[in-house]
């Protein structure tokens, strides 16, 4: 763990776990391994069209467009559209880079866009969530839309109590509304809600919005050469090694 | 079954069950027995304050205010507020009728309002939903808000895949938006979504909005002298005796 004494917010009060009524989860990267899943889903398309790119590089290129695509919506310059729409636009943009001037069958684009509905969880996720669910409400707090998240949960067996997609808050993290609207939808105070994420930046924004925070590192999210988010950057209420460890912190 | 040949919409096409991707449920009356539950929850309050009313009559009086309270919101004369808020206002109104001029401790009003979060399902519900969940997405399509519905599900063990409260559509049934926004949130066409309800009026509105429909009679919803919704009023795609029968119609 890094020395975090200098970065800790002076006025922050740690939230005791006993007051937590809901634990909500960042999804892409924290719950599911998007890179491996997208590479697997895209490989046949890449081969069929002779794109000559490694499936993992295709996944990285698609994901690289994720944060910039949400920026105009966060800034209020574009009305809210669901993540399925942004994934589709980003795919078209990536394909234009890989094969300038080419056109693609509509059905293949739709199907490939839905790859984000078909991602597998990290190995500890199902066991950890099943235990935690006995103690508290669990759900995703994701930039994904409800349709994406329910299809993902159904396929992967994620035992969510509730699906809190971005189409409830109509805001994209790290906009404060994404966090506060989630607690409000659950009828609880922000301090009664914990966000668990593998991304320190997400937790920083959640804490600013009044939520409790939990960190679980996913050191292979970005592949074998990942350099970011390998350790907690602040004194999050919980730092757990995986979701089973997280459940144990809650006495489950 | 009544003769329904004269009431059938001439242009209606029956939706085959094979195309259904989600089955959503009216909640109060169809999934849970609100009258028995509210009577049980209110009985100590009634006794403590000597209100001199039968708990079941108290439940009926509270529920009688339900539809009228939503009318101004459906008509666009009042901005959307969650059902928890309407339940609270209706409780205050009922108490003013039962004990004019009396005042009540804030904490007791809040606690009693949350009675609607603590209702038990009809005996067939859990078994039927568990089976249906293997074949299709299941969730409430209720006028209840998400917080109410998730607390109810958590306590009662309702195995929903997704919670579709009125705070997603910000519309109250039978407004068409309540139905169409639900299908849209799931990323499916209205015809791929079936509403199951014990109330013919709800199904009529759902069909008008393009959804498939399923009827399960709950002849004791309003107590032993119920006269309405004892039988289907139209040729709903499914008429089932209970939720287990419903699951069997889907081959589960």
Q: Which residue of B has its CA nearest to A161?
A: B150
Chain mean pLDDT for chain B: 94
In a domain, residue A12? The reply is no
Same domain assignment for residues A27 and A48: no
Does A162 sit within 8 Å of B185, measured CB to CB?
A: no
Sheet holding A22-25, edge to edge: A137-140, A22-25, A193-197, A212-216, A238-240
**pLDDT, tens digit, 9 for 90 and up, residues B100-159:** 999 999 999 999 999 999 999 999 999 999 999 999 999 999 999 999 999 999 999 999
Tell me what percent of the residues of chain A surpass a pLDDT of 90. 92
User: What pLDDT does residue A1 have?
Assistant: 41
Same domain assignment for residues A187 and A205: yes
User: What pLDDT does residue B14 have?
Assistant: 75
Query: Which residues of chain B make contact with A84, given a CB cutoff of 8 A?
Result: 187
Same domain assignment for residues B113 and B151: no
Ramachandran bin of B218, using left for φ above 0, alpha for ψ from -120 to 50, beta for the remaining angles: beta
Same domain assignment for residues A52 and A144: no
Return the closest-CA partner of residue A87 out of A133, A118, A47, A54: A118
In a domain, residue B228? The reply is yes
Nearest Cβ partner of B187 from A147, A161, A163?
A147
Ramachandran bin of A42, using left for φ above 0, alpha for ψ from -120 to 50, beta for the remaining angles: alpha
Same domain assignment for residues A96 and A155: no
B10: tokens are 């001439």
End-of-domain residue from the set B86, B117, B148: B117
In a domain, residue A125? The reply is yes
User: What pLDDT does residue B75 have?
Assistant: 94
**pLDDT, tens digit, 9 for 90 and up, residues A110-138:** 999 999 999 999 999 999 999 999 999 99
Task: Show the domain range for A132.
Answer: 17-33+119-249
* Residue B226 phi, psi dihedral angles, 5° rounding: -65, 135
The complex's ipTM? 0.91
Same domain assignment for residues A100 and A213: no
**pLDDT, tens digit, 9 for 90 and up, residues B20-53:** 999 999 999 999 999 999 999 999 999 999 999 9
Nearest Cβ partner of A153 from B147, B161, B168?
B161
C-beta separation of B21 from B188 below 8 A: yes
Same domain assignment for residues A57 and A158: no
In a domain, residue B2? The reply is no
C-beta separation of B169 from B181 below 8 A: yes
Same domain assignment for residues B145 and B107: no
Residue B231 has pLDDT above 70, yes or no: yes
In a domain, residue A8? The reply is no
Instruction: Count Cβ atoms below 10 Å from residue B64 Cβ, excluding itself.
Output: 11
User: What pLDDT does residue A11 have?
Assistant: 56
Does A163 sit within 8 Å of B150, measured CB to CB?
A: no
Whichever domain contains A48, its CATH number is 1.10.150.240
Q: Enumerate residue ranges in chain A where pLDDT < 50.
A: 1-10
User: What pLDDT does residue A4 have?
Assistant: 43
Among the residues of chain A, which ranges form H helices?
34-48, 55-64, 66-74, 83-98, 106-113, 125-132, 146-156, 166-169, 176-185, 200-208, 243-249
Distance CA A243, CA B27 (A): 32
Same domain assignment for residues B60 and B130: no
Bridge partners of B215, per DSSP, are B197, B239
Flag whether residue A189 sits within 8 Å of chain B, measured between CB atoms: no
Judge residue B99's burial from the number of C-beta atoms within 10 Å of its C-beta, 0-12 exposed, 13-18 middle, 19 or more buried. Answer: middle
In a domain, residue B222? The reply is yes
End-of-domain residue from the set B86, B101, B117: B117
Whichever domain contains B231, its CATH number is 3.40.50.1000
In a domain, residue A4? The reply is no
Same domain assignment for residues B123 and B147: yes
Does B84 sit within 8 Å of A147, measured CB to CB?
A: no
B5 versus B218: the higher-pLDDT residue is: B218
Same domain assignment for residues B146 and B232: yes
The minimum CA-CA distance between B101 and chain A, rounded to whole Å, is 30
Flag whether residue B185 sits within 8 Å of chain A, measured between CB atoms: yes
Q: How many domains does chain B have?
A: 2
End-of-domain residue from the set A56, A87, A117: A117
Nearest Cβ partner of B185 from A147, A153, A187?
A147
Q: Which of residues 140-179 of A touch B (CB under 8 A)?
A: 145-148, 150-151, 153-154, 160-163, 165, 167-168
User: What pLDDT does residue A2 have?
Assistant: 43
A231: tokens are 């350790």
User: What pLDDT does residue A15 have?
Assistant: 75
Which regions of chain B does DSSP assign to beta strands (E)? 22-25, 137-140, 193-197, 212-216, 238-240
Same domain assignment for residues B129 and B191: yes
Query: Which residues of chain A make contact with B148, given a CB cutoff of 8 A?
Result: 187
As a whole number of Å, the CA-based R_g of chain A is: 18
């Amino acid at each position: 763990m890094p020395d975090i004494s200098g970065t800790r917010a002076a006025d922050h009060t740690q939230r005791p776990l006993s007051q937590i009524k809901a634990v909500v989860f960042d999804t892409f990267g924290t719950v599911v391994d998007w890179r491996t899943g997208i590479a697997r889903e895209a490989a046949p398309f890449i081969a069929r069209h002779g794109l000559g790119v490694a499936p993992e590089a295709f996944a990285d290129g698609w994901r690289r467009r994720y944060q910039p695509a949400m920026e105009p919506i966060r800034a209020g310059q574009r009305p809210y559209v669901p993540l399925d729409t942004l994934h589709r636009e980003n795919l078209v943009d990536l394909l234009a880079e890989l094969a300038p001037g080419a056109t693609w069958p509509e059905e293949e684009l739709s199907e490939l866009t839905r790859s984000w509905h078909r991602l597998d969880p990290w190995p500890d996720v199902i066991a950890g969530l099943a235990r935690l669910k006995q103690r508290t409400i669990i759900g995703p707090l994701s930039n994904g839309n409800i349709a994406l998240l329910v299809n993902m949960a159904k396929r992967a067996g994620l035992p969510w109590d509730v699906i809190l997609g971005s189409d409830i808050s109509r805001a994209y993290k790290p906009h404060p509304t994404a966090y506060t609207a989630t607690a409000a939808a659950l009828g609880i105070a922000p301090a009664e809600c914990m966000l668990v994420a593998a991304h320190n930046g997400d937790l920083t924004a959640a804490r600013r919005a009044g939520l409790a925070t939990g960190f679980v590192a996913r050191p292979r999210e970005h592949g074998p050469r990942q350099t970011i988010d390998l350790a907690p950057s602040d004194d999050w209420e919980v730092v757990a090694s995986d979701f089973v460890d997280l459940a144990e912190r809650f006495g489950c």
